[in-house]
Every structure is written in structure tokens, then in C-alpha cells.
Amino acid sequence: MIEGLSAIDSLGGSLGPAAPQAPVSPDAGTSFEDALGQAIGSAVGTLQTGEAAAIQGIEGAASPMKVVESVMNAQRSLQSVLAIRDKVVSAYQEIARMAI
């Protein structure tokens, strides 16, 4: 999950005012949509792995330590996705409140 978000971080640079830059062609680098898609795909994969480990733990095929580790990774991924969702919703609400 964090690896997927590092692509987003590399796009943003700093949060301060940025110097004007030349327009970037669509083929240069990773787009925001691609970076967000990769992050969400990674989170979904982690959640599926956690679910599979939990099922194996119930069946007795996996050690409790592996189950706990997988479920904790899934929980961190879910919390990250929820934080991103909250930020996107907040940004949308700010844009919706702007005067035209």
C-alpha cells in the first residue's frame, strides 16, 4: 500500500507554492489516476490476502501468528484507503462550495 502511495507523493513534491512549470505531456510519468488505481489495487490484494489467511486460520492450516500479521496488514490498508477517501470527499466538498 505504501509503495503505491509513494508514486502519488512523487507527483506532488511539496505542499507549498510551486514555481510555474511547463505543461507535462500525458505520456510523461505516472498519472494521478494510475497511481490511485495502483494504491487501491494493492489495498484490495492485501485485504484478500488477510481474508484468505483468516479462513486458513479457522481451518487450522495457518499459524495464529501468520493470521494476525495478515489481518493487521489488511487493517492498515483499509485505514489508508479510508483516509484517502475522506481526503477526496473533503476536496470535492471544498470545490463544490466555491463560488462560480
- Residue that the C-alpha cell 502511495 belongs to: 5
pLDDT computed for residue 25 by the predictor:
58
* Domain definitions of the chain by residue range: 30-100
The CA distance from 27 to 17, in Å, is 25
Query: 0.95 cut: is pTM over it?
Result: no
For every one of its 100 residues, what pLDDT tens digit does the chain have, with 9 covering 90 and above? Answer: 445 444 444 444 444 444 445 555 555 678 888 988 888 899 999 999 999 999 999 999 989 999 999 999 999 999 999 999 999 999 999 999 998 7
56 Cβ contact list (under 8 Å, min separation 6): 62, 66, 67
